[in-house]
Amino acid sequence: MPAYRAVLFDFFGTLTRAVRRGPAHAGIAQLLGCDPATLVEVLDRSYHARARGRYGSAEETLRWVATEAGAHPSDRTLRAAAAARREAIWADTTLRTAAVPTLRALRRRGLRTALVSDCTHELPDVLPRLPLHTLLDARVLSVEMGICKPDPGMFLAAAALVGARPEQCLYIGDGGSRELTGAEAVGMTAVRLRAPDLAGHLTFNPDTAWSGSDITDLADTIGLVDRVLEPA
């Protein structure tokens, strides 16, 4: 096997701690004029369509969501709700303690790093606020690509951006969106992060049949690189 040249990471639940919708989301429902439980139901069933950007911009998407939930907010209300949703996603996002040190350690070893994430319009706005933003050589976001994991295009685009062949890439993820089997299908080495906090993680289309390698701490990524293969 060739040496690793890059390590690719999922975002939610991998570089971050488990994600749960915080109290701010109920306020967004109130702002839009719809029932909070109905809003959550619409958000859940439309996740991958929204993550592909199917309904347009952030505000256009929120208008679609509100209509599905039985509300008809004004343009001004939509703008306010879209801003509130960005802040709610920000509030729900807590980096793992090991995220920044792990990325720094990989870069010291000469490896390239990339983010491969299914996400809605809010993540591209949130990322620049995070200290790991400058430690990523590339990002492949579903809402910008128009596809979601496990589509091979997500993984192949990331490999191309970091200048590596798929078999030279290590992929780390919690298993949402069947990302592990998706990464393996294009020739990458995939490893699941099975951290204790992920028991309550908000996830969609998980890799329930995954039987490959696991780690329990994001920092164990360094051990995989050092022990299994010498970096190029």
- 112 DSSP β-pair partners: 6
Number of neighbouring beta carbons within 10 Å of residue 78: 19
pTM score, whole prediction? 0.93
**In angstroms, rounded to a whole number, what is the distance separating the alpha carbons of residues 93 and 126?**
9
Which residue ranges form the domains of the chain, and what is each CATH number? 6-19+94-228 (3.40.50.1000), 24-92 (no CATH)
**In angstroms, rounded to a whole number, what is the distance separating the alpha carbons of residues 89 and 61?**
15
Q: Kindly give, in sequence order, each residue whose CB lies less than 8 Å from that of residue 148, ignoring residues fewer than 6 positions away.
A: 48, 51, 52, 118, 142, 154, 177
Please give the residue that has the higher pLDDT: either 199 or 173. Answer: 173
Reported confidence tier of residue 204, pLDDT bands at 50, 70, 90 = confident
**In angstroms, rounded to a whole number, what is the distance separating the alpha carbons of residues 63 and 65?**
5
Tens of pLDDT along 50-74? Answer: 999 999 999 999 999 999 999 999 9
Q: Provide the pLDDT for residue 20.
A: 87
Reported confidence tier of residue 228, pLDDT bands at 50, 70, 90 = low
Tens of pLDDT along 73-82? Answer: 999 999 999 9
